[in-house]
């Protein structure tokens, strides 16, 4: 039975939670959390690494003990540490840590004094007023706990997709920027790092009069409740449930504060540790040597003061970027203007909403010089997928359109279904008449890993196969990725001379960032495609760029940064 990284990471997180409740050494707890994070974002299955004879202690944050526990999870599904902890503390107690206002100390008190072991029991106790008399508790915390559980039951407080966050963030920034005395208002946090989902918005404002900004902020008409309000920091919930943290600093601290609040936490900790070794202290007000401020007005000045090259926000996850910045080996990341075309979109012929010419003109208006039309194939009947006859009719239509269009070239393509046995949904001779064939899995998501992998590898063996669309099949927060050996898929793409898509649709953002990095390492080009179903969807390319940057991709790693002439050659299969 294969054990996946996420299961090992979850076990380490659970151990960390339970150790916290026990009041264990905070640094031991952090070691478990660091290890969980390392494993979660590894990209390659730990089990496979072990089978290849890799020494796990070479991974950052994994020492002899944790390497042993990883082996234990693979062998037995759990570890002795977790088993022992669960005998002392009910496992459900860890869930209580997720409730705002409750940390390990209070959860410990609740358990010791009231024998509460679950969210349900806690809610009952809060409703009956049994929490307020506990040491360190009071009426306010009791109400906070009760409302937090009620909000959780209404599914508030979940992470939201980056594109959804943008819909809240952009008008709020505009509102704050217009407040008198505000010099600058920007979104920091995971939003600025272009994470696919964000838990809250972190907004940084530079202004001389923090008090006035705070008043404006809590007066914003979408604010539902104020969680906290201070001189320099406030937190609110919007009516949608989204939490927004606002921090106000003076102009000369902008760089240090922006750096501090962009995170990630793991990146910040690692950098501050590095600074410490050089006798420096970093906080949101600047970089200090022996109490004397030496940098902080701009982010660039902060990096310079600690001897690092500038690290783009998307890379700040403590996944090797600090070492790369130290040795001047960071990639120059791809930007939106590097894109020369888009290789995946739909029209009215299937499930799109605009016609061929509208799509082509919209792509041109976005600065693109080529666009591939890739409708669904017949098997995907809900989208009115194309059969051979309709596809050939569209091919003729595109030929005619290309004769009259200037400034943009329309490619003839298809998003053909990869069938369960790895065959493609349209015959060879038809696919051979196209400029490119985008293959996609739209059915049988639940095949066993080996079978799913074989299916995709076989599809790639097809002589006309060009590009694997949305390679993991996940829909963010809605559908898990199917089980597949992505490392194997990437290697096979290299061997077969085909490519992987990074689908820029905000619900997909698939290829995942860690796999982008793997594709880059293997020399497999990635195509950043909109999967547009209307002319408005070309705007989504920016989210694909964000994801690509998180995956360390440069212009050279991306297929559709190539100008038209070069791209044509790359679309011709060489093997």
Partner DNA sequence: GCCGTTTTCGGCCCGACTGTTTTCAGTCG
Chain contacts with DNA (rule: CB under 7 A): 25, 27-28, 30-32, 35, 57, 60-67, 81, 97, 99-107, 132, 135-142, 144, 189, 200, 202, 228-234, 243, 245, 261, 265, 268-269, 272-273, 276-277, 281-284
Q: Are strands 197-198 and 160-161 parallel, antiparallel or unpaired?
A: antiparallel
Residue 104 or 546: the one with the smaller Cβ distance to DNA is: 104
Name which of 60, 71, 56 is nearest 11 in CA terms.
Answer: 71
d(CA 128, CA 142): 10
Q: Whole-angstrom Cα distance, residue 178 to residue 349?
A: 45
Least Å distance, CB 293 to DNA, is 11
Q: Provide the CB-side half-sphere exposure for 136 (13 A, CA).
A: 11
Q: Is 560 helix (H, G, I), strand (E, B) or coil?
A: helix
Three-class HEC string of 279-323: CEEEECCEEEECCEEEECCCHHHHHHHCCCCCCCHHHCCCCCHHH
Angle at 288 between CA 282 and CA 291, to 5 degrees: 130
Token representation of residue 310: 């500038």
Question: Cβ-count burial of 423 within 10 angstroms (0-12 exposed, 13-18 middle, 19+ buried)?
Answer: middle
Nearer to DNA (CB atom), residue 188 or residue 493:
188
Minimum CB separation of residue 309 from DNA in Å reads 18
Least Cβ distance, residue 152 to DNA (angstroms): 12
Query: Closest distance between DNA and the C-beta of residue 43, in Å?
Result: 18
Q: How far is the CB of 520 from DNA (least distance, A)?
A: 24
What is the nearest approach in angstroms of DNA to the Cβ of residue 501?
Answer: 33
Nearer to DNA, 8 or 493 (CB): 8
Work out how close the CB of 262 gets to DNA at its nearest, in angstroms, rounded to a whole number: 10
- DSSP, res 496: H
Contact 501, 493 (CB under 8 A): no
Nearer to DNA, 147 or 301 (CB): 147
- Among residues 272 and 390, whose Cβ is nearest to DNA? 272
Of 14 and 557, CB closest to DNA: 14
Nearer to DNA, 106 or 344 (CB): 106
If the CB atoms of residues 307 and 463 are measured against DNA, the closer one turns out to be 307
**What gap in Å lies between CA 236 and CA 243, rounded to an integer?**
6
151/401 with CB nearer DNA: 151
The residue (of 86 and 281) whose beta carbon lies closer to DNA is 281
Residue among 78, 8, 83 at smallest CA distance from 48:
8
Residues 6+ apart with CB under 8 A from 433: 392, 395, 412
Q: Bridge-partner residues for 386, per DSSP?
A: 377
Residue 160 β-bridge partners: 198
The answer to whether 529 touches 501, Cβ cutoff 8 Å, is: yes
Q: Find the shortest distance in angstroms from Cβ 136 to DNA.
A: 5
- Least distance (Å) between residue 171 CB and DNA: 21
User: Smallest distance, Å, CB 84 to DNA?
Assistant: 10
Minimal distance, residue 225 CB to DNA, in Å: 12
3-state secondary structure 421-468: CCCECCCHHHHCCCCEEEEECCCCCCCCHHHHHHHHHHHHHCCCCCEE
Let me know: does 544 contact 338? Beta carbons within 8 Å. no
State the minimum distance, in angstroms, from the CB of residue 62 to DNA.
Answer: 6
If the CB atoms of residues 314 and 510 are measured against DNA, the closer one turns out to be 314
Least distance between DNA and beta carbon 13 (Å): 14
First to last CA, the chain: 35
Instruction: Bin 561: left if φ > 0, else alpha if -120 < ψ < 50, else beta.
Output: alpha
347 Cβ partners below 8 Å, 6+ apart? 354, 355, 356, 359, 373, 375
> Rounded distance, CA 437 to CA 431, Å?
7
Residue 31 or 468 with smaller CB distance to DNA: 31
CB of 168 to DNA, least distance (A): 16
**Closer to DNA at the Cβ: 2 or 103?**
103
CA gap 508, 478 in Å, rounded: 10
Of 259 and 499, CB closest to DNA = 259
Q: Least separation, in Å, of the C-beta of 22 and DNA?
A: 12
- Residues whose CB falls within 8 Å of the CB of residue 562, separated by 6 or more in sequence, listed in order: 340, 570
- Beta bridge partner(s), residue 236: 226, 244
Give the nearer residue to DNA in terms of CB position, either 136 or 180.
136
Question: Distance (Å, rounded) from C-alpha 559 to C-alpha 479?
Answer: 27
């Amino acid at each position: 039975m294969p054990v996946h990284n996420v299961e090992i990471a979850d076990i380490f997180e659970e151990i960390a939670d339970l150790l916290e409740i026990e009041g264990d050494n905070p640094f031991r707890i952090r070691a478990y959390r660091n290890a969980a994070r390392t494993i979660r974002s590894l990209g390659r299955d730990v089990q496979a690494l072990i089978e290849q004879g890799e020494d796990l202690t070479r991974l950052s944050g994994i020492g002899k003990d944790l390497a042993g526990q990883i082996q234990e999870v693979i062998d037995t599904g759990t570890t002795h540490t977790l088993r022992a902890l669960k005998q002392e503390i009910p496992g459900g107690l860890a869930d209580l840590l997720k409730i705002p206002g409750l940390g390990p100390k209070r959860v410990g008190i609740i358990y010791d004094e009231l024998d509460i072991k679950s969210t349900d029991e806690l809610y009952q106790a809060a409703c009956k007023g049994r929490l307020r008399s506990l040491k360190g508790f009071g009426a306010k915390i009791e109400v906070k706990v009760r409302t937090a559980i009620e909000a959780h039951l209404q599914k508030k407080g979940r992470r939201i997709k980056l594109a959804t966050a943008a819909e809240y963030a952009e008008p709020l920034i505009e509102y704050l920027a217009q407040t008198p005395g505000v010099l600058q208002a920007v979104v920091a946090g995971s939003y600025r790092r272009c994470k696919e989902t964000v838990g809250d918005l972190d907004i940084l404002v530079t202004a001389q009069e923090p008090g006035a900004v705070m008043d404006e902020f809590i007066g914003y008409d979408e604010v539902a409740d104020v969680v906290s309000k201070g001189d320099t920091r406030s937190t609110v919930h919007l009516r949608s449930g989204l939490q927004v943290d606002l921090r106000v600093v003076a102009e000369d601290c902008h760089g240090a504060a922006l750096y501090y609040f962009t995170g990630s936490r793991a990146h910040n900790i690692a950098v501050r540790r590095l600074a410490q070794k050089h006798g420096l202290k970093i906080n949101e007000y600047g970089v200090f040597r022996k109490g004397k401020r030496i940098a902080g007005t701009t982010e660039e000045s902060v990096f310079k003061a600690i001897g690092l090259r500038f690290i783009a926000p998307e890379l700040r996850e403590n996944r090797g970027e600090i070492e790369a910045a130290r040795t001047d080996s960071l990639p120059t990341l791809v930007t939106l203007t590097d894109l020369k075309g888009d290789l995946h979109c739909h029209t009215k012929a299937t499930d799109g909403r605009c016609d061929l010419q509208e799509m082509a003109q919209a792509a041109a208006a976005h600065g693109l010089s080529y666009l591939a039309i890739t409708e669904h194939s017949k098997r995907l009947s809900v989208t009115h997928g194309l059969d051979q006859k309709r596809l050939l009719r569209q091919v003729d239509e595109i030929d005619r359109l290309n004769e009259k269009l200037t400034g943009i070239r329309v490619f003839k393509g298809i998003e053909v279904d990869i069938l369960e046995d790895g065959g493609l949904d349209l015959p060879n001779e038809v696919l051979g008449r196209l400029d490119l064939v985008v293959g996609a899995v739209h059915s049988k998501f639940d095949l066993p890993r080996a079978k799913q992998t074989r299916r995709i590898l076989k599809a790639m063996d097809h002589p006309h196969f060009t590009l694997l669309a949305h390679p993991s099949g996940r829909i963010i927060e809605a559908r898990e990725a199917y089980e597949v050996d992505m490392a194997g898929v990437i290697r096979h793409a290299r061997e077969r001379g085909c490519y992987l898509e990074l689908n820029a649709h905000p619900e997909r953002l698939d290829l995942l960032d860690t796999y982008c990095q793997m594709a880059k390492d293997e020399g497999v080009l990635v195509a950043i495609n909109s999967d547009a179903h209307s002319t408005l969807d070309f705007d989504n390319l920016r989210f694909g760029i964000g994801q690509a940057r998180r995956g360390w991709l440069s212009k050279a790693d991306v297929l559709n940064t190539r100008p038209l002439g070069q791209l044509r050659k790359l679309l011709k299969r060489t093997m």
